[in-house]
Structure 1
Amino acid sequence: MNDNELGTYLRTWREAVTPAEAGLPAGHRRRTPGLRRAELAMLAGISVEYLTRLEQGRDRNPSAQVLGALADALHLSLKDRMVLRRLTREADGGDPVLCAAAPPLGRTVRPTVRAVLDSLEPAPAAVLNWIGDVIAHTAGYARLVGPLGLLDDERPNLLRYFFTDERARETHPDWDRVADDLVARLRHGAPLREPAVTELADELTVTAGAEFADRFADLATTPRTVGSQEIRHPQAGPLRLLNETLALPDDGQRVVVHLPADDTTAAALDRLNGRRPGALFAVPETPVRETG
């Protein structure tokens, strides 16, 4: 795992912002399309030497004022600013208050969460923890993903399935996009110092190689709370699903609900669940507005 994540994050964003985006002339003979260190340092009002120390990991505790100036210069969104602040805390050994408040990695759900899950039937829905363990699900979810092989393991894990089971690639035409999101969620939604997170990351780095490792090293990709995916289902045929994620931060868990994106998928899921048509309704897909 990268032990200079803060520096890597800053350098990645510096190299991604063009001089034009920062209001600077492009000039000639640039070795990178992004900003030079001197340019970012000037925009943020800090010295080149100090920015170099930050990027090289020789200084891991910048002030809030410096972070704000760098975020402004790089035009970071609110979400990306939160990642920057989080990486600062990680680099400094962790924020004691945040670490103390972090819930343990759970593999059971509260009765009220279980009741909410039951109320979602027959929609495919599941509760996952930080590392992607499927710890509870609806019967509709089992009928959807069971034939895909996701629930074959005694302790099913979404990341392990996606990166080590060939059936995941065969049944998900948009495998790359879903894989990007899963790894981004592990990186940005889980406490990286949690042993189970480290163990899973190390395991998948060995078993999946660069497919996982390169994604895990990409600090710029953040997870989506809403999205869509396609599935080539061996029983129901091609499906288009919209995904909604509901966070349970106090439990270190999230509820993921899959809803049909069109009438054909709704009817196919009804047949899969042994229901009459109309049990599930297609949800119109609307553009997601980016904030920040």
Structure 2
Amino acid sequence: MTTEEFGRALRRWRDRVRPEAAGLPAGGRRRAAGLRREELARLTGISVDYVTRLEQGRATSPSAQVVTALARALRLSEDESAHLFRTAGLAPPRPELVPAQITPSVQRLLDRLAGTPVAVFDASWTLLTANALHVAVSGDPSPLRGNERNIAWQHFINGGLGRVRYTPEQAIAFETALVADLRTASARYPADQRLRRLVAELRTRSAHFARLWDSGVVGTHRAARKTIDHPQVGPMTLDCDVLTVAGSDLRIVPYTAEPDTEDADRLALLAVIGTQPLGA
């Protein structure tokens, strides 16, 4: 535990919080605009003496419950709370469930990439959303429900990803990275029952997945080239990147074509004919 840094952070953030912002009366004359130690003690349910010893670096090893109460009372941001936990020698708490919210910034990015096929997945590789051009490239996911929207489920149980064609080498790399990602997500979000049920179903219904899972394979998703067998414009070889959004574990997956190629021409054609409203 970095006792001096913990105490400095505690004092700095206590001085920043005005009493009325914490639901307390400002009351009389105050030497500083922030919370008094006794006020912070009241908000957190710990003694004034313990708050004093923490700030002075004389108390060590506060519990996670104490640090959580301090972070809540001091109105700390997620990053500030994580810093307080680390200076207390504790691992910052993680969200219990796989994040599935599309943040406003990610939505703005999708809106500005209308000319690029883009999909967004959560940490378990369940599809959250896709723009119109990605739907035109890969097919309409709107009828899919539950695990049917999960890439691992589609690949290992449903017999593949529809229009995507892999070489044997590409398939091995893809499967290795996919299983490794699911194992990482399972360790990061152990309380997520949906994820636990997904992995259990994959292990039960796919012997291949079970072998990979039990072997402890390690891999990461890297930039790759995929061939899409499209029923309207023909085969397209596209570059596929995986971009991870820090703090939310969202996976943004764009497809791009090399400029001045037949693949680029076919993708441009699909952007015209494949995104038209039905019946146009």
TM-score bracket for the superposition, by shorter chain length: 0.5 to 0.7
Structure 1 residues 260 and 192, CA, compared in 2 at 3 Å: closer, same or farther? same
The aligned runs of 1:234-249 (5 Å cut-off) are: 234-249=231-246
Aligned to 1:62: none
Match of 2:262 among 253, 256, 264: 264
1:117 touches 1:125 (CA, 8 Å); kept in 2?
yes
| Secondary structure, aligned partner of 2:197 | helix
1:97 aligns with 2:91: yes
* Whole-Å separation in 2 of the counterparts to 1:265 and 1:138: 19
Structure 1 residues 124 and 192, CA, compared in 2 at 3 Å: closer, same or farther? same
| AA matched with 1:187 | R
* Whole-Å separation in 2 of the counterparts to 1:180 and 1:168: 16
* Whole-Å separation in 1 of the counterparts to 2:223 and 2:160: 24
Structure 1 residues 230 and 221, CA, compared in 2 at 3 Å: closer, same or farther? farther
Aligned to 1:227: 224
- Spell out, residue by residue over 1:2-56, the C-alpha distance to the aligned partner (whole angstroms, 9 max, x if none): xxxxxxxxxxxxxxxxxxxxxxxxxxxxxxxxxxxxxxxxxxxxxxxxxxxxxxx
- Identity over aligned pairs, percent: 20
- Spell out, residue by residue over 1:243-285, the C-alpha distance to the aligned partner (whole angstroms, 9 max, x if none): 111111311212111111461211111111217xxxxxxxxxx
Deviation at 1:142, TM superposition (A): 0.7
Structure 1 residues 239 and 179, CA, compared in 2 at 3 Å: closer, same or farther? farther
Structure 1 residues 179 and 232, CA, compared in 2 at 3 Å: closer, same or farther? farther
2:155 touches 2:161 (CA, 8 Å); kept in 1?
yes
* Whole-Å separation in 1 of the counterparts to 2:270 and 2:154: 22
- CA-based RMSD: 2.6
User: How many residue pairs end up in the alignment?
Assistant: 177
Q: Which protein shows a greater Rg? A: 2
Where structure 1 has 5 or more consecutive residues not aligned to the other structure, the ranges are 1-94, 276-292
1:255 aligns with 2:248: no
| Secondary structure, aligned partner of 2:241 | strand
Where structure 2 has 5 or more consecutive residues not aligned to the other structure, the ranges are 1-88, 274-280
* Whole-Å separation in 1 of the counterparts to 2:269 and 2:240: 20
* Whole-Å separation in 1 of the counterparts to 2:252 and 2:96: 16
Aligned to 1:144: 137
* Whole-Å separation in 2 of the counterparts to 1:169 and 1:212: 18
1:233 touches 1:239 (CA, 8 Å); kept in 2?
yes
* Whole-Å separation in 2 of the counterparts to 1:248 and 1:170: 27
* Whole-Å separation in 2 of the counterparts to 1:132 and 1:238: 25
Which TM-score applies when normalising by structure 2?
Answer: 0.56
Deviation at 1:231, TM superposition (A): 2.2
Deviation at 1:210, TM superposition (A): 1.7
1:274 aligns with 2:272: yes
Deviation at 1:153, TM superposition (A): 0.5
2:164 touches 2:226 (CA, 8 Å); kept in 1?
no
* Whole-Å separation in 1 of the counterparts to 2:143 and 2:90: 39
| AA matched with 1:125 | V
